[in-house]
Structure formats: C-alpha cells, structure tokens
Amino acid sequence: MSDEQRLREIEAFFHEQIPLTRAMGVRVESYDGKQLVLTAPLTLNHNHLGTAFGGSLAAIATLAGYGFLWLELGDRRAHVVIRESAISYRRPVRHGIRAVCRRPEESVVAVFKSEFASKGKGRIRLAVTVEEDGLAAVELSGLFVAIHPR
C-alpha cells in the first residue's frame, strides 16, 4: 500500500468507525514517519465566539494520537484508547484546525512497541499540538494504550 493509500485508509476508518470525525470533517493530511497531521474546517467546528470549539480541539488532538499509533504499529486492528490527557488552550484558533502529533524519542517508541509485542499491551505518552500561524494554540499531552487484538 502506498503512503497516500495508507492515509486515505486511516481517514476512511475514522469516518466509518467514529461518526463524529465525519461530522467534524477530519482529514488525514500527511504522515512522514516523524509527524502525523490531521485537519478539520472551522465551519464545522466553531464555537459561540466564532473560534474553534474546545471540544473539537480535544477530539482532533486525541484522534491524532490514535492515528499515529495505528500507523506506527502498522495494525489498524489494535485497540487504541486514551487513558488520560492534559490540555492547554493557549490562544484561540481562528482559521482551520491543524493538529500535529510528533513522534516521541526513539527509545520511548521502542519500549512501547516491545511491550505491545511481548505483553500484548503497550502504553505511550504522546504530545499533540494544534498550530496556527506558526504558534502552538493548543497542547495536549496524552497517555495512550494499545492492546493487541485477540
């Protein structure tokens, strides 16, 4: 499967399995092994002030973590969930939403993959930022868990 096909496949999986992502208009923009980028238009995700709704921002940041782990594991059947998260809303998002999940240090990814393979369950902390005009508008730090499908 080409990289582009893999992105479209993850996007279709989001839309089919998590109906809210369709309502949000979530797109999988790019993945280069170092970072996964998701986008969503403001028209579907604004709040009462005309900026991005905090709930949409939390949702897309969470999805970026799920998507990163599916791509990293190369296995969309893995049961990925979020255990806890801390979110800072630093500044309003005024245009489209663009969420970036950056790959953690290699040692962190290696421990996660090794636990997933040996114990059938891996935990990893991921950082996701929503960026606009070169600034981090929202920062999420989340503890994600992937469980091997039985």
**Residues near its own copies, by CB under 8 A:** 13, 17-20, 23-24, 43-49, 53-56, 58-60, 62-63, 79-89, 92
**Closer residue to its own copies (CB): 43 or 118:** 43
Cβ atoms of 76 and 146 within 8 Å: the answer is: no
- Minimum CB distance to its own copies, residue 58 (Å): 4
Residue 132, C-beta contacts closer than 8 angstroms, at least 6 positions apart: 91, 93, 94, 95, 98
- Minimum CB distance to its own copies, residue 134 (Å): 22
Q: What is the C-alpha separation between 122 and 79, in angstroms, rounded? A: 10
- Minimum CB distance to its own copies, residue 25 (Å): 10
- Minimum CB distance to its own copies, residue 106 (Å): 26
**Closer residue to its own copies (CB): 33 or 50:** 50
Dihedral angle sign, alpha carbons of residues 133, 54, 73, 30: negative
**Closer residue to its own copies (CB): 79 or 121:** 79
Count CB atoms within 10 A of the CB of residue 49.
Answer: 9
- Bridge partner residues of 145 (DSSP): 81, 123
**Torsion, Cα of 7, 71, 36, 40 (10° steps):** 50
**Closer residue to its own copies (CB): 19 or 120:** 19
- Minimum CB distance to its own copies, residue 127 (Å): 15
**Closer residue to its own copies (CB): 18 or 136:** 18
Q: What's the N-to-C CA distance of the chain in angstroms?
A: 24
